[in-house]
Structure 1
Amino acid sequence: MIHALFAQQFAEAMQYEAILAPLDGFAECWQAFVASGGRGGNVTVPFKEQAFALAEQLTDRAAQAGAVNTLYLDRQGRLCGDNTDGAGLVQDLVRLAAPLKDQSVLLLGAGGASRGVIGPLLAAGAASITVANRTAAKAQLLAEQFGSKVSGCALTEIPAGHYPLIVNATSSGLSGERPVIAAELLADCQLAYDMLYGKEPTAFLQWCAQLGVPRQADGLGMLVGQAAEAFTIWRGKRPAVEPVIAALKKALA
Structure 2
Amino acid sequence: MSFFAVFGNPIKHSKSAEIYALFANEIGISKGYDLKLVSQDNFHYLLYDFFKLGGLGANITSPFKENAYFLCNQLTERAEKSRSVNTIKKLKNGVLLGDNTDGIGFISDLKRLNWIDNDNISDTNKSTVINILLIGAGGASKGIVPVLLTTIEKCHINIVNRTFSKAQVLTSYYQEIGYKNVSCMPLCELYYDTSKYSLIINATTSSMYSAILKIPSFLITPVTKCYDLFYQKQDTSFISWCKKNGSNYCADGLGMLVGQAAHAFLLWHNLFPSIDPVLNHLRSTF
Q: Report the TM-score range of the alignment, normalised by the length of the smaller protein.
A: over 0.9
Q: Which runs of 4+ in 1 moved over 4 A?
A: none
1:54-93 correspondence to structure 2 within 5 Å:
54-93=71-110
The answer as to 2:205 corresponding to 1:171 is yes
- Residue deviations 1:219-251, cap 9 Å, x none? 000110110010000000011110100010111
Where do residues 1-253 of structure 1 align in structure 2 (5 Å cutoff)? 1-99=18-116, 101=120, 103-126=130-153, 127-147=155-175, 148-158=180-190, 159-187=193-221, 189-252=223-286
Pairs aligned (count) = 252
- Partner Cα distance (1:210, 1:67) in 2: 34
Relative to structure 1, the CA distance from residue 22 to residue 137 in structure 2 (aligned partners, 3 Å threshold; closer, same or farther) is closer
Q: Distance in 1 between matches of 2:218 and 2:163?
A: 21
**Does structure 2 retain, via aligned residues, the 8 Å contact 1:166–1:189?**
no
CA–CA separation in structure 1 for the residues paired with 2:95 and 2:54? 14
What is the identity, as a one-letter code, of the residue corresponding to 1:196? F
Task: Mark the CA change 1:146 to 1:23 in structure 2 (over 3 Å): closer, same or farther.
Answer: closer
* 1:107–1:115 distance in 2 versus 1, CA, 3 Å: same
Structure 1 pair 28–222 and aligned structure 2 pair: CA distance change class (3 A)? same
- 2:7 — aligned with what? none
Amino acid of the structure 1 residue aligned with 2:146:
G
Unaligned runs of 5+ in 2: 1-17, 121-128
2:144 aligned counterpart, secondary structure: helix
Contact 1:86 1:117 in 2 (8 A): yes
Q: For residues 41-84 of structure 1, give each alpha carbon's deviation from its aligned partner in whole angstroms, at most 9, with x where no partner exists.
A: 10112222221111001112112222111111123221111111
| Identical residues among aligned pairs (%) | 40
CA contact (8 A) 1:69 1:84 kept: yes
Kindly provide the amino acid, as one letter, of the partner of residue 156 in structure 1.
Answer: C
Contact 2:141 2:203 in 1 (8 A): yes
Q: Is the 8 A contact 1:72 1:79 kept in 2?
A: yes
Q: TM-score, normalised by structure 1?
A: 0.94
Q: Is the 8 A contact 2:137 2:170 kept in 1?
A: yes
Between 1:21-30 and 1:76-85, the stretch displaced more is 21-30
Is the Cα–Cα contact under 8 Å of residues 108 and 179 in structure 1 kept in the other structure?
no
Whether the 8 Å contact between 2:226 and 2:251 is mirrored in structure 1 is: yes
In structure 1, C-alpha distance between the alignment counterparts of 2:38 and 2:230, rounded to whole Å? 23
Alignment check: 8 A CA contact 2:22 2:278 kept: yes
Aligned counterparts of 1:108 and 1:188: Cα–Cα separation in 2 = 19
Q: How has the CA–CA distance of structure 1 residues 210 and 156 changed in structure 2, closer, same or farther, with 3 Å as cutoff? A: same
* Contact 2:59–2:87 (8 Å) recurs in 1: yes
Q: CA deviation at 1:188?
A: 6.2
1:137 deviates by: 2.6
Offset of residue 184 of structure 1: 1.1
Helix, strand or coil for the counterpart of 2:197? coil
Alignment check: 8 A CA contact 1:163 1:188 kept: no
Unaligned runs of 5+ in 1: none
In the aligned structure 1, how far is the partner of 2:96 from the partner of 2:19? 24
Name the SS of the counterpart of 1:160 in structure 2: coil
Partner of 2:10: none
For the aligned residue pairs, the C-alpha RMSD in angstroms reads 1.5
